[in-house]
Amino acid sequence: MRKKLLPLFLSQSFRSVAVSLLSFFSAIYIFKSVLNTGSGEKQAFLAVFLFYLVLFIFKFIGVSLAEELALKFGLKRQVFIGQFLNALAILAFVASQSQFLFLWLASALWGAAIGFFWFGWHGLFIKDGYAREYGKALGLGSLLETSFLLLTPFLGGVLIGVFGYQALFWTSFFFIFLGVLAILTTFDQKTHHDTSPQEVLGLFWTHKRMTLSYLSSGILGVLYSPVFILYVFFFLKKELALGGFFSLSMIVTAIANYSIGKRVDQKGKRDLIAYGSYFSFLAWLGRFLVSAPSILFIFDVIYRLAGGMLGIPLGVLTYQKARDGHSTGRALLFRELAITLGSVLACLLLIVFVLMQLELRYVFLGGAGFSLLPLLIVRERGIYGEPNESRQ
């Protein structure tokens, strides 16, 4: 790993611990908070999905602003803005314990933070990554991040069980602070070509296959967190048990992404994306058919392996397109807006799902179907960066 990339990966890893503490337990916190007001489960589910809908709308706004500001002030500042907004979001979570309305502020700040941070982070990685070894670099970064995250869900469960959610929020705040320290020594770069959300939205029509692949990523992200996490919690009942479940799943798959990353560079992306889609389909279908926690654990491991098979090659596609097309901003905005639109669509569908009072596990059938969309970019003409490439 290049020395210049180490601060970038460390910052990402510290931030991932902070955000994972929120991601694994925020839906449960919101759900229980609404129930404590005397409302029913329907209102609690609606509050959770509305929270995430607001989050992804503000992510859309954040990533669009980050693209504009990166031209003038550089990519490193976008990372700092993202970390600062994350810290404010956590403070809003703390305040929500005495005033529920602060949760909506936390949602907006967290969403904007995601947009700023990832636009800056991906941009810096592209500017000084391994031009011909993006997969290896992503695999190394993922291995470092995973080593930080292995016990994070379990830690969150312990903190909540012993000290309550207040301790979870302040621990998350501490890791955001470490992430800011880690990024201080990294390099800075600017983007040089202006683009806009309107321009990128126009590209969705001419790059339909790639758009649908990224769209599915956003949809599946929402179906996993918060939906699947809430689903598992209903069986396990306690935050500590939930944390142990997901920590053990991470340990089982700890070194997979590094191996996947090396294979991307050596063997190409086509096979990995195909296998990742099939494994993801299997995992979501299994979650629909079986509700025993031990079996759900097996399917979670399969899904995490599939996530690496899909996420790393799709990331490499974005980086190669940014390099070869000489437009980092356009490539990143295309990726982030497509993913975000998928997330917004998933939240809207979940709200309709709750209003129709359908059983939660039926959304996993949708997850199985959307898992197959990345196959569109490996059919017939191949994928970008490989023989018989497809520009879709």
391 domain-assigned = no
390 domain-assigned = no
382 domain-assigned = no
Separation of alpha carbons 118 and 60, rounded Å: 12
109 domain-assigned = yes
Q: How confident is the model at residue 277 (pLDDT cuts 50, 70, 90)?
A: very high
What is the pLDDT averaged over residues 269-296?
91
15: containing domain: 3-377
DSSP for 260-329, please give it.
HHHHHHHH-SHHHHHHHHHHHHHHHHHHHH---HHHHHHHHHHHHHHHHHHHHHHHHHHHHHHHHHT-HH
392 domain-assigned = no
User: CATH number of the domain that 66 lies in?
Assistant: 1.20.1250.20
388 domain-assigned = no
SS3 130: coil
Residue among 21, 248, 23, 26 nearest 152 (CA): 21
387 domain-assigned = no
Domains in the chain: how many in total?
1
312 domain-assigned = yes
Q: Which two tokens stand for residue 145?
A: 């991040």
Enter the pTM of the model.
Answer: 0.90
Q: Per residue in 225-266, pLDDT tens?
A: 999 999 999 999 899 999 999 998 887 776 666 566 566 656
Angle, CA of 383, 273 and 371, to the nearest 5°: 115
Q: Per residue in 309-325, pLDDT tens?
A: 888 788 888 877 777 76
